[in-house]
Structure 1
Amino acid sequence: MLTIGLEHVHFRAFHGLYPEERVIGNDFIIDVYVTIPGTTHIDSIRETVNYQGIFTIVEQIMAVPQPLLEQVVYAITDAIKLKYPEVQKSNVSLRKMNPPMGASVRNSVVSLEKNY
């Protein structure tokens, strides 16, 4: 198996359950990993998953505000599988930095691991 990923990608986005989160926004950090069969030598980008393509998917989904981070990670995994059917496993972790909780919290996190 071969794993391709992006780590600690930063976005400013407007996801959140509360109205003020959709106005003020927040900083988010995302990690995305996908696994494909890796039993043969890869000689071309067409034989693998282009991490620029993964970034484009994540960027597009992060631009659409959602009330729940769970919705965001599910949308990302679904879009990756649609674009790259050879993906056999994905793992997406989304961190909301300084979530509005009335306490000092570095981040909240939602992670989704899927086997296809």
Structure 2
Amino acid sequence: MNHFKQTVALKDVKCFALHGYYPEEQLTGNHFIVDLETEFSPIGFDDELGQTVNYEDLNSIILEEMKITQKLLETVLKNIISKVIRLYPFVEKIDVSIKKLNPPMPGQIGHSFVKLTYTPTN
């Protein structure tokens, strides 16, 4: 018997948001890039959207959460994961990451990076 794993993902979702620990960051904002990847056992292959994760939903979740100012990127990631789980409880793994472009600190830094992975416990 074949066992399939399916991945549905969005990569390089570009956003401008007001996330940051320091008050100045929450005033000036920054550019971010979000990656969101889901993995699950396919429900079926009858060419119906209801049997998969809709990446339009993933995009909406990302954009909604990026609008809500948070001090820590970890909080944004946790909120994204929570919404994906509520909408798609059959998902077996979620990887979500955020790059903050040109973080405001000395030196030339391309981006900071935070990643969170979710796997349900049995």
What TM-score bracket applies, with the shorter chain setting the length? over 0.9
TM (norm. structure 1) is 0.96
Q: Percent identity?
A: 36
Give the deviation of 1:42 after TM superposition: 4.2
Larger Rg over CA atoms: 2
Name which of 57, 77, 84 aligns with 2:81.
77
Name which of 30, 48, 58 aligns with 1:54.
58
> Deviations for 1:45-104, whole angstroms, at most 9, x for unmatched residues?
000000000110111100000000010101101110011111111000100000011111
Structure 1 unaligned spans of 5+: none
Which 4+ stretches in 1 moved above 4 angstroms? Answer: none
Query: What's 2:48 paired with?
Result: 44
Structure 2 unaligned spans of 5+: none
Matches within 5 A, 1:101-112: 101-112=105-116
Q: In the comparison of the two structures, how many residue pairs are matched?
A: 116
Name which of 92, 97, 100 aligns with 1:96.
100
Name which of 14, 31, 36 aligns with 2:35.
31
CA distance in structure 2 between the partners assigned to 1:90 and 1:3 by the alignment: 10
CA distance in structure 1 between the partners assigned to 2:46 and 2:34 by the alignment: 27
Q: Structure 1 stretch 38-47 or stretch 75-84: which is displaced more?
A: 38-47
1:101 and 1:38, CA in 2 relative to 1: closer, same or farther beyond 3 A? same
Aligned residue identity for 2:20: G
Contact map agreement 1:14 1:66 (CA 8 A) in 2: yes
Contact map agreement 2:98 2:114 (CA 8 A) in 1: yes
Quick check: 1:13 aligned with 2:17?
A: yes
TM (norm. structure 2) is 0.91
